[in-house]
Structure 1
Amino acid sequence: MKKIMLVGRSECGKTTLTQALRGEQLNYQKTQSMNYYDLIIDTPGEYAENKILAGALALYAYEADVVGLLLSATEQYSLYSPNITSLVNREVIGIVTQIDKEDARPIRAGGWLNLTGCEKLFFVSAVTGEGIDTLLDYLTQA
């Protein structure tokens, strides 16, 4: 299985997705530091939100095979700059989260992730389980 690092702003669903991928019961908890779970690296949202801390994400990416940029389908704007995937020499995939929410706009969020340079997109809901198997299948491919 490929080791993935999950990146995104606070409350976009990184830790919840981590729990869903690991088959755990969903239990909200605020990530305070880099957390390593077998093949998943869960990062604090502040690292993506703060330019001073953002450089650490590129450094930590060297420990992963794949970087997953998460963007909630409920976002009003994209946190990521166009072509940001060029900052790391790892494959970068886009993961649209919270697609089950009433105000979700997953196509818009997916378009924003395409602008970052993500060529592969996954649309998931950790709550309903939609898209989790597709993402797991991708991560288990050699």
Structure 2
Amino acid sequence: MKKIILMGRSECGKTTLSQALRGGEIAYRKTQYINHYDVVIDTPGEYAETASLGRALALYAYEADVVGLLCGATEPYCLFPPCVAAACTRPVIGIVTRIDEPGANPGRAQRWLELAGCRPVFRVSAYSGEGIWRILSYLKEPGDRLPWENAEEAERPRTVLSDKYGETGRKRP
């Protein structure tokens, strides 16, 4: 799997999405520092919101294969300026989170991410699992086997990912 770094403002859903991508239990945790997992780098929102801390995101982006810019579908504005993706030396994808919340406007958030230069843009709900498998398929490299691709496991419940101890995660939509 390609390694992805998740960037966005505070409470846009970065940690929740990283939990969903890893198949873990969804539980709110405030990210206080950069968290490295097998294929996900989770960053605090304050790094993207503060110019002096934002420079650290540029350095951590070198450790990832893909940069994921997140924007919640309920956010009143977008943190990312137009064409910001052009400054990155990695592919930059957009991820619209919280698409199933009341008052959500995923189309507006998607347009903001497209304006920032993100291609492609994924719409996801970490709680329902909608769209998570599309991100995993995008991050898949040749030779990788995603849990729902194994013919032997066709009778088992479909999972997004299993954690490093082999416990199954959330069901795939």
Higher-Rg member (1/2): 2
Residues of 2 paired with 1:37 and 1:88: CA distance? 22
How many angstroms does 1:86 deviate by? 1.8
What secondary structure is seen at the aligned counterpart in 1 of 2:6? strand
Q: Describe how 1:58-137 pairs up with structure 2 within 5 A.
A: 58-137=58-137
Q: Which runs of 4+ in 1 moved over 6 A?
A: none
The two structures have a TM-score, normalised by structure 2, of: 0.81
Unaligned runs of 5+ in 2: 143-173
Residues of 1 paired with 2:59 and 2:96: CA distance? 23
How many angstroms does 1:39 deviate by? 0.7
For 2:33, the aligned partner's letter is S
1:27 aligns with 2:27: yes
Higher helix share: 1
Which residue in 2 is equivalent to 1:41?
Answer: 41
Q: Percent identity?
A: 61
Q: Encode CA deviations 1:2-47: one digit per residue, 9 max, x unaligned.
A: 0000000010000000000000010100000000010100000000
Which residue in 2 is equivalent to 1:141?
Answer: 141
Unaligned runs of 5+ in 1: none
The two structures have a TM-score, normalised by structure 1, of: 0.98
Contact kept in structure 2, 1:58 and 1:87, CA below 8 Å: no
Higher strand share: 1
For 2:119, the aligned partner's letter is E
Equivalences, count: 142
What secondary structure is seen at the aligned counterpart in 2 of 1:113? helix
Residues of 1 paired with 2:74 and 2:103: CA distance? 6
How many angstroms does 1:141 deviate by? 3.5
Quick check: 84-93 or 7-16, which moved more? 84-93
